[in-house]
Amino acid sequence: MRPPADFGGAFRTDERARAAYAEGAGIFRVIPAAVAAPRDAADLLALVAWARAEGTGLVPRGAGSAMAGGSIGPGVIVDLTGLEARPCRVDPAAARARTAAAVTLRELNEQAMLAGLRYPPVPSSVGWATAGGVVSCNAAGAASLRYGPARRWVTGLDLVTGAGERLTLRRGQAVVGGLERFEREVAPALRAARPLVESRFPRVTKNTAGYALDQYLGTGDALDLVVGAEGTLGFVTAVEWRLDQVPAARGALRVDLASLDDLGPAVEALLRADPSAVELLDRTFLDLVRRTGTEHLPPPGTEAVLLVELERAGTPALRGAVGDAVRLVSPIALNVETALAEAEVERAWALRHAASPILARQPPTHRSMQVIEDGCVPVAALGGYVRFIRACALARGLDVVLFGHAGDGHVHVNLLPDTTVPGWEADVLGLLEDVTAEVLRLGGTPSGEHGDGRLRARFVERLYGPEVMGLFRQVKAAFDPDGVLNPGVKLPLPGEAGTTGLGPLKMGAAAALLPADIEAALRGIEREGGYALPRLSLADAASRRDTETPSRRAAPLDP
């Protein structure tokens, strides 16, 4: 495979480079055909023209921490973290910022904080998540309960589409640079389908399944379709953000619950106090943390804990809000603890952050699998949903650890199957199918904040029906007429909608072989949250073929 003649960035087809990009976060391992690291938008245009001529898929990738498999694939991985222009400019007077796609949220917030501003809905991946990746996944986090996900804070985008157009998309303004077909054919079809869209989209606070037709119909802004599109409509090269004032005071509550029957009522009561976050720590989570000897845990038998954050403009307002929250939830709770000093708040939230490192350090035979990790249901149904997951996992002999964003009815489920037991894949797939069916029955979405990726593309039509699926395909064709951008992500390829099996996993006997040192380095990234590490540095590490075990070498590139 040869790069485009006018491509000026790095283009690698060697075994080690391909292996270094075979994984992201999540469960999959797919060895790509090549890796491209463009320098600028001109390189992206060259790649798109070449891919359309060759019929080759391009997989946009930022830090690679997307959970659902949207940053890996069999085509050419396009690593956007090396784009040479990296401006990060904050306008304090307007409370706005403009960043290159490769700028991380941490860099954005460090600059914004100098002016007393911030980007509020930071995900847990704030240290490495790039602006382009955040936009592509419509990333959310604990504070999105009050502040919404990324879409609410994006005011403009620069984009290179799959049609080879360079566009500027801004709220309330006409598209600059193209999209004539979209405006002529697709936009009228979407407007005509408004009743269908309103009837088929789930009534939940977070949903990244499919394209955001509901949001587009509310604003008329094409950028609302690109936000959350997981790189299937274009390469984001720059982002314009709205910022917010840093709150002066922050407090926390820890609410212990004796029964899952109390979960929905407790969350609904707390929401009346306007919290910025209400996080769920299920008993399965507490049991996992308890095995490490962590202090300040609730007593055994506590079925769930809610961690609540409140932000206000000053201390008196915060004390009033905390008091209101305590008054609202105390009749339901087993116990309520409050924290107003910053050190106490951090101590309360330490419990929420305790499980991820534990999960990442599971032994190879019980590695944590993020398979059913994004279901979002109406808050009133939350307790029953958690109980259903527990019961289904128990029936299949699978250990699960549950936590998530209770204020949104959004639960992350980590599976810990024993991969040495024959047939474990069938049990995991069966649980995925059972829980997804229950999510749909409850009026929820399988994809709350992490997108569809390759994992949940199979469920998109099941959620929306064939008519809405047809609208999604029209949107895709308008931006990417030859289907070269992230094929198989978000929308399944022809014949894949009824796919059985979990797909190409990074664990288990069937996992594709990688050079031993690169596989070890990828495990280290997973355990330590090292997604900021440039992957090509793994390919260029000192250890070479002559020090590798041949059985752990990557498969040769097809001619």
Residue 544 — very low, low, confident or very high, per pLDDT cuts 50/70/90? very low
pLDDT of residue 292: 74
Amino acid identity of 326?
V
* Count of other CB atoms within 10 angstroms of residue 498: 8
Tokens at 343, concatenated:
């050190």
pLDDT of residue 25: 92
Beta bridge partners of 170: 156
Model confidence at 325: pLDDT above 60? yes
Arithmetic mean of pLDDT, 316-343: 94
Model confidence at 552: pLDDT above 60? no
Arithmetic mean of pLDDT, 313-339: 95
Tokens at 319, concatenated:
């004390």
Report how far residue 436's alpha carbon sits from residue 211's, in angstroms, rounded to the nearest whole number.
19
pLDDT of residue 295: 63
Report how far residue 484's alpha carbon sits from residue 295's, in angstroms, rounded to the nearest whole number.
51
Q: Whose CA is closest to 473, among 166, 232, 125, 219?
A: 232
Q: What is the mean pLDDT of the chain?
A: 91
The region of weakest confidence among 194-208, 298-312, 337-351, 427-441 is 337-351
The region of weakest confidence among 37-46, 221-230, 347-356 is 347-356
In percent, how much of the chain has pLDDT > 90? 78
Instruction: With H, G, I as helix, E, B as strand and everything else as coil, classify residue 261.
Output: helix
Model confidence at 280: pLDDT above 60? yes
pLDDT of residue 496: 60
pLDDT of residue 242: 98
pLDDT of residue 472: 98
Model confidence at 349: pLDDT above 50? yes
Within 13 Å and on the Cβ side, how many CA atoms surround 475?
25
CA 209 to chain CA centroid, nearest Å: 11
The region of weakest confidence among 200-214, 251-265, 508-522, 542-556 is 542-556
pLDDT 10s digits, 524-537? 998 888 999 999 99
* Count of other CB atoms within 10 angstroms of residue 314: 10
pLDDT of residue 356: 76
pLDDT of residue 268: 97
pLDDT 10s digits, 38-53? 999 999 999 999 999 9
Sign of CA dihedral 261, 263, 267, 269: positive
CA 315 to chain CA centroid, nearest Å: 34
Model confidence at 134: pLDDT above 50? yes
Report how far residue 443's alpha carbon sits from residue 513's, in angstroms, rounded to the nearest whole number.
40
The region of weakest confidence among 21-25, 54-58, 179-183, 253-257 is 179-183
Residue 208 — very low, low, confident or very high, per pLDDT cuts 50/70/90? very high
Arithmetic mean of pLDDT, 291-313: 86
Residue 10 — very low, low, confident or very high, per pLDDT cuts 50/70/90? very high
More confident residue, 555 or 176: 176
Arithmetic mean of pLDDT, 459-471: 97
Report how far residue 449's alpha carbon sits from residue 208's, in angstroms, rounded to the nearest whole number.
6
Arithmetic mean of pLDDT, 227-240: 97
Residue 517 — very low, low, confident or very high, per pLDDT cuts 50/70/90? very high
More confident residue, 284 or 554: 284
Residue 513 — very low, low, confident or very high, per pLDDT cuts 50/70/90? very high
Amino acid identity of 96?
R
Tokens at 77, concatenated:
């991985």
More confident residue, 271 or 551: 271
What lies within 8 Å, CB to CB, of 47 at 6+ separation is 4, 7, 36, 38, 58, 76, 78
* DSSP single-letter state for residue 556: P
Structural domains in the chain, sorted by start: 249-359 (3.30.70.2190), 363-450 (3.30.70.2740)
Model confidence at 546: pLDDT above 60? no
Model confidence at 553: pLDDT above 50? no
According to DSSP, the β-strands at 34-37 and 76-79 are: parallel
Arithmetic mean of pLDDT, 280-300: 83
379 phi, psi to nearest 5 deg: -55, -40
Arithmetic mean of pLDDT, 121-150: 93
The helix, strand and coil proportions of the chain, stated in percent and rounded to the nearest 5, come to 40, 20, 45
Beta strands in 146-216 (DSSP E): 154-161, 166-170
Count H helices, E strands: the chain? Answer: 21, 18
Cβ contact 257:302 at 8 Å = yes
The region of weakest confidence among 172-176, 237-241, 301-305 is 172-176
What lies within 8 Å, CB to CB, of 182 at 6+ separation is 175, 222, 475, 478, 479
Model confidence at 549: pLDDT above 50? no
pLDDT of residue 474: 97
pLDDT of residue 551: 39
